[in-house]
Amino acid sequence: MRRRVTVAIIASTTAAGLLLAGCSSTATPADPAATASETVAASFNGTDVTFAQMMVVHHEGAIEMADLAVERGTNPEVQALGKAISAAQGPEIEQMTSWLESWGEPTADDMMDMDGMDHGGMDMDGMDQAGAMADLDSLSGTEFDRRFLELMTAHHQGAVEMSEQELADGENADALALARRIIDAQNAEIVQMRNLLGRL
């Protein structure tokens, strides 16, 4: 009897050991390909940093103008365009700011706090952001709508140029992908605005 109990204990212990060994063997090692992909995605250079910093400021200027178009525009298509621009560029600002933070680089807000960046953004028909906003604020009706479309067209052209520079010299995969999306989206909106200007 005592011998059978001993055998049973040994068998139970052996089975438990095999079960634990089986559980530990299911752990999979880190995928070298995935690790390499993450490294590539995290790599960046000075062009990527400048692109993100300057495009944040540029987008902030576009949203400021777009929100005014929603408020002051008289043409429904102008108002709809303003809403679309604001909705698209707000999340892109958050995305680029998160990149800068993860890269350990100053954000656009950091640089403006240090007087290291002009909040005016890109030149539009010879005016900076403050001048463009003052110009728009002085207009109403169809004159406002037309001027908004003219200034936003110039603003979009600046964004396309900045994105093309990123494609030429940038390194970060996410930043390059965003640059391509900006070029496609803003070129399409430039065509839309020019067509609308021809009807006003």
Q: What is the predicted pLDDT for the residue at 126?
A: 81
Beta bridge partners of 127: 124
Is the whole model's pTM more than 0.85, yes or no?
no
- Summarize pLDDT for 56-78 with one digit per residue, the tens: 999 999 999 999 999 999 999 99
Among 1-10, 45-54, 180-189, the range scoring the smallest mean pLDDT is 1-10
Which residues are within 8 A (CB) of 164 and not within 5 positions of it... i.e. 6 or more apart? 179, 183
47 within 8 A of 169, measured Cβ to Cβ: yes
Q: What is the pLDDT of residues 88-137, one digit of tens each?
A: 999 999 999 999 999 999 998 888 766 555 544 467 878 899 999 999 99
- The half-sphere exposure of 155 on its side-chain side, counting CA atoms within 13 A, is 29
**Comparing 30 with 89, which gets the higher pLDDT?**
89
pLDDT (tens digit, 9 = 90+) per residue, 133-149? 999 999 999 999 999 99
